Amino acid sequence: MCGCFKDGDPTMSQPSFIDNFSQQFSLEPGRTALLVIDMQNATGNRNMGLGKLLAEQGQSESAQYRFDRIDNLLIPNIQRLIAGFREAGAHVIWITYGANAADASDAPHHIAPIIKATNNIAGQPEHEVVDALKPGPGDLVLNKTTQGAFRSTALDSSLRALGVDTVVSTGVSTNNCVAMTSMEACDLQYRVVVTSDATGTDSEEMQEATLTMLKRLWSRVLTTDEVLSELTAGGSHT
């Protein structure tokens, strides 16, 4: 599928025809779950895990966008979403990422090296959810060893048991675990929303490119305010 060009401008623009295929559905609290993906010390704390590793290598600046976005945008918006979902009686599900085995032997070969380098092993401080975001009593917490949460957890069977057919994705990284989990959900016939301002990655360009890709067939892309408004209304988007 080729890109479009305007008046000789080499910048690719979104093809207008894709709007005809974008997902259209309403958010209904009883059928919707918030997914908080990989908001852990290993991945979301500039002083631990990935942040510490980069600092030791003299590369902290390369992750400044990531951690600034997490601290200033993701955490406040995810906090708002959690409160809104709980008030609406909707489910909040936490997805963590990391190895269960101490030597990361249960992780895929392409992920194991960074898991070990960031000490992202179940039971270690790096594997814990960041202090500003903690699961509440009764919240489901599932650990994945793959980028997509459906591949290596009981997320699918859990959602179906809860009567959930719609998921709202938040967390990191937008282009990796958030995107993979969201696309897996869509392929499994779930309706998907990805939050534009409660997800993050390593650059604005990568963030925007991933969101553009996801809203082409895979998901709706909404802001935190839009999600909360629809959830409160019981679904106004048809």
Predicted local confidence at residue 2, as pLDDT:
36
Confidence category of residue 160, pLDDT binned at 50, 70, 90: very high
- Please say if the pLDDT value at position 181 is more than 60: yes
In a domain, 202, yes or no: yes
In a domain, 164, yes or no: yes
In a domain, 127, yes or no: yes
pTM, two decimals, is: 0.90
Give 217 or 108, the one with higher predicted confidence.
108
Domain range spanning residue 172?
24-232
Q: What is the pLDDT of residues 89-98, one digit of tens each?
A: 999 999 999 9
Q: 10 Å Cβ neighbour count for 138?
A: 8
In a domain, 19, yes or no: no
In a domain, 1, yes or no: no
Euclidean distance between CA atoms 33 and 199, whole angstroms: 16
* 3-class SS string, the chain: CCCEEECCEEEEECCHHHHHHCCCCCCCHHHEEEEEECCEHHHHCCCCHHHHHHHHCCCHHHHHHHHHHHHHHHHHHHHHHHHHHHHHCCEEEEEEECECCCCCCCCCCCCHHHHHHCCCECCCHHHCECCCCCCCCCCEEEEECCCCHHHHCCHHHHHHHHCCCEEEEEEECHHHHHHHHHHHHHHCCCEEEEEEEEEECCCHHHHHHHHHHHCCCCCEEECHHHHHHHHHHCCCCC
Q: What is the CATH number of the domain that holds 64?
A: 3.40.50.850
Predicted local confidence at residue 196, as pLDDT:
99
Which residue has 């990284």 as its token pair? 173
In a domain, 4, yes or no: no
In a domain, 237, yes or no: no
Domain total in the chain: 1
Euclidean distance between CA atoms 224 and 149, whole angstroms: 22
In a domain, 82, yes or no: yes
Confidence category of residue 108, pLDDT binned at 50, 70, 90: very high
Confidence category of residue 234, pLDDT binned at 50, 70, 90: confident
